Structure 1
Amino acid sequence: MKKIYYGKQTIQKDDIKEVVKVLKSDFLTTGPKVKEFEKALCSYTNSKYCVCVSNATAALHISSLLLLNENDLVLTTPNSFLATSNAILYAKAKPVFVDICEDGNINLDLCEKLLLENKNIKAIYVVHFSGNPVNQKKLAFLREKYDIKILEDCAHSIGAVNNNIKAGSCKNSDISVFSFHPVKQLTTGEGGAILTNDKKIYEMALQLRNHGIELKSDIAPWHYEMNSLGYNYKLTDIACALGLSQLKKIEKFINKRRKIANRYEKFFKKFEFIKPLYEFTFDSSYHLYVVLIDFEKYKISKKDLFLKLREKGIFLQYHYIPINQQAYYKNLGYGNENTPFMDDYYKKAISLPIYPKLSKKEQNFVQDSIIEILEKG
């Protein structure tokens, strides 16, 4: 039985060829492909500076150390992978969880209300959930009016656009962060990137990526100085060669994802108690495709739907268990936030398979299987 997962990398012959070239070269890490990939990402996103790192969590960690101070309050979403808010804790700052909108993204109107009530809020960490970007005009307004730091977690959203602003451009933020995990729109195996338009942030991010070291070749060819407590968060030339090859095809990959999303929407709109998280839009780069199912109207639980689909070889996923409800966060005093939209979302949401190699036949099988199981109960 062929298994269908919610996400999957698309590796082709040209990708393999580029990786093999690096394997035969003089540099496997900290070489020319890293800078080439960083330059290509700047060109693609219209940002000034880029620092590639070992994964998106490393990118979030470095970014938080550069943006935050101890005990800063940071508005963020409960609807993300743990790394988004964990990075706030790494910097000894304090996440403040804000409810989501109907599209799964953080509610920026609620963020503004909290900013008016509490002058100790120093930053907002927004996540462009599933590939669907937040409203950039609202982001610009909040940044200018309240003089706060803004980080865009673009782990889901490379290739997304809102108001002609590409995800990662940092037009209305201090830092944007990418993920290149295999289930994302492009992959380097593991990997991430920090993007910024601030030269000082860029220079410090370079240091923190490499143990806090700054090379001082003007003193001596071998001389280096450790000026900060950094980390070993470098990304290899092998990974960057794969990333460069993938980046050349990213628009094709995203267009395929959009076609799959459009077909899902047309299919599920025929059913009263199933709806897409948001209407189809070319703004989204569709890392995920989420549908909301009113399980109370059917005779089956979300868990049983997952298990019965696995018997057919279909592996759905759920994104995400609310971060503030995790045991670690509850031990810190979280868990009682007023988040009715997130709570309702958690009851209803499932993530369907979406990746460039998903065939129409496989998509039809997924759709039909979901309806069959729901209606049989």
Structure 2
Amino acid sequence: MIPYGRQSLDQADIDAVVAVLQSDWLTQGPTIERFEQAMAARCEAGYAVAVCNATAALHIACLAAGLGPGDRLWTTPNTFLASANCGRYCGAEVDFVDIDPLTWNLDANALALKLEAAERDATLPKVLVVVAFSGQSCDMQTIGTLAERYGFTVIEDASHAVGASYAGRPVGCGEFAAMTVFSFHPVKIITSAEGGMVLTNRPELAERLRRLRSHGMTRDPAQMTEPSHGPWYYQQIELGFNYRITDLQAALGLSQLGKLEGFIARRRELAARYDRLLADLPLTLPSAQPGAQSAWHLYVVRVQLDRITLTHREVFEALRAAGIGVNLHYIPVHLQPYYREQGFTEGDFPEAERYYAQAISLPMFAALTDEQQDYVVEQLRRTVG
């Protein structure tokens, strides 16, 4: 089975983890800070805060933005559950903005119209989670302008987009978002086995993010309510969480970061090959967002069902039967039972629903060989050609 995504590890990654195992620090040690500093430097960001996974990163980013009960978070329906759930963890209401029919990212034009209506109704969002779907940023310049006008905080969920760029700068630099979240799950661009990170340029956000990932505790006397009792003393000054990453994970992530440029180059090569090899098939191929350079976490095609005799599911299952581990990213979040209970239903976000009825994620990972990719194309051609 050729999977849709997988990690690429080598002996250097293994040696990095073993070195930590043989050190004095397995967690809360210096490797975490080195990983954070290296990622911040790579992304041209002021601060980076590593946590146990990207869902935790989204959660504390929302809290750092001040999201709470009575507030609203908006995001795209074409994403993993965590992009919406992070708002619910904070007690906020969640709503969605439909996707662009070309890029399959949150539609900035639909956002502008929805904001106009929300301003009239006094229902503006406090936080907008924009998702760099498949590794490609949204129209962040337009979204940044809208954020300034309407006063909401932009969190870019760039879980797919480590190594991507937008407007000539790395995703994560913070030019158009207050905070950026990365994921280091094994199928992502680089991995720390599990892990996530929040990047920001605002020192007050970084300080609170660090506190929130570790039980809301501080050892800073300036933040305490009374003088320190001694060198051992700490205070919990707010409700936080145990969202810490380990030095083992940070060592793997740091080692992987050194290979990022090669991973991205190979993914872009594979995407260009797919573009060439699939151009004549009854498929809609990915479209570029102007100014964005994708990291190509995913390569998604949409089956033009009006041009073939098979159903979407039949195409998907034929590829699986041929040993190709295709997947589907994503089921529209608003159609999940939990969100239906919040009042959402079919037809609320028609573009995301049309996308879901046609989309298939093809194998895309740095170790995918040309021969494996040719086999994927051959089987797809036999199925829909």
Q: TM-score, normalising length from structure 2?
A: 0.93
Tell me, yes or no, if structure 1 residue 129 matches structure 2 residue 133.
yes
Q: Structure 1 residues 353-362 or 119-128, which shifts more? A: 119-128
Deviation at 1:279, TM superposition (A): 4.8
Deviations 1:78-119 (A, max 9, x none): 000000000011111111111100211001111112222223
- Taking only the aligned residue pairs, the percentage that are identical comes to 37
Question: What count of residue pairs does the alignment treat as equivalent?
Answer: 372
- Within-5 A mapping of 1:66-145: 66-67=64-65, 68-101=67-100, 102-119=102-119, 120-121=123-124, 122-145=126-149
Counterparts of 1:200-279 in structure 2, within 5 Å, are 200-216=204-220, 219-271=229-281, 273-279=282-288
Task: Give 1:196 deviation, angstroms.
Answer: 1.1
Q: 1:330 corresponds to which residue?
A: 340
Letter in 2 for 1:5: P
Partner SS state of residue 80, structure 1: coil
- Is the 8 Å Cα contact of residues 144 and 154 (structure 2) preserved in structure 1? no
Secondary structure of the residue that 1:320 maps to in structure 2? coil
Shift in Å, 1:14: 0.8
Which residue is equivalent to 1:349?
Answer: 359
Give the match for residue 197 of structure 1.
201
What CA distance in whole angstroms lies between the structure 1 residues aligned with 2:309 and 2:144? 46
Corresponding position of 1:188:
192
CA contact (8 A) 1:306 1:315 kept: no
Structure 1: give runs of 5+ residues left out of the alignment: none
Whole-Å Cα distance in 1 between the matches of residues 187 and 95 of structure 2?
28
SS of 1:351's equivalent? strand
In the alignment, the residues of structure 1 paired with residue 356 and residue 37 of structure 2 have an alpha-carbon distance, to the nearest angstrom, of 39
Question: How much has 1:190 moved relative to structure 2?
Answer: 0.4
1:305 counterpart = 2:315: yes
Counterpart residue number, 2:224: none
Amino acid in structure 2 at the alignment position of 1:30: Q
State the match for 1:368 in structure 2: 378
The one-letter amino acid paired with 1:109 is N
Code of the residue aligned with 1:13 in structure 2: it is Q
Aligned residue number for residue 168 of structure 2: 164
| 1:280–1:199 Cα change, 3 Å | closer
Matches within 5 A, 1:5-24: 5-24=3-22
TM-score when normalising by structure 1? 0.95
SS at match of 2:36: helix
In the aligned structure 1, how far is the partner of 2:286 from the partner of 2:255? 32
Query: Does the CA-based 8 Å contact 2:215-2:239 persist in structure 1?
Result: yes
Shift of 1:55: 0.2
Per-residue deviation at 1:145? Answer: 1.9
Q: What are the Cα deviations for residues 142-201 of structure 1, in whole angstroms up to 9, with x where unaligned?
A: 122222111100001111111113211111111111100000000000000011111111
Question: What SS does structure 2 have at the residue aligned with 1:318?
Answer: coil
| Alignment of structure 1 residues 57-68 onto 2, 5 Å | 57-67=55-65, 68=67
In structure 2, what is the equivalent of residue 174 of structure 1?
178
Tell me how far apart the structure 2 counterparts of residues 142 and 28 of structure 1 sit (CA, whole Å): 44
In the superposition, relative to structure 1, how do residues 61 and 341 fare at CA in structure 2: closer, same or farther (>3 Å)? same
**Deviation string for 1:251-283 (max 9, x for gaps)?**
100110000000000011122x21212159970
Matched, 1:288 2:293: no
1:359 aligns with 2:357: no
Which 5+ residue runs of structure 2 have no aligned equivalent?
222-227
Mapped contact 1:37–1:243 kept (Cα < 8 A): yes
Once superposed, what is the RMSD of the aligned Cα atoms? Answer: 1.5
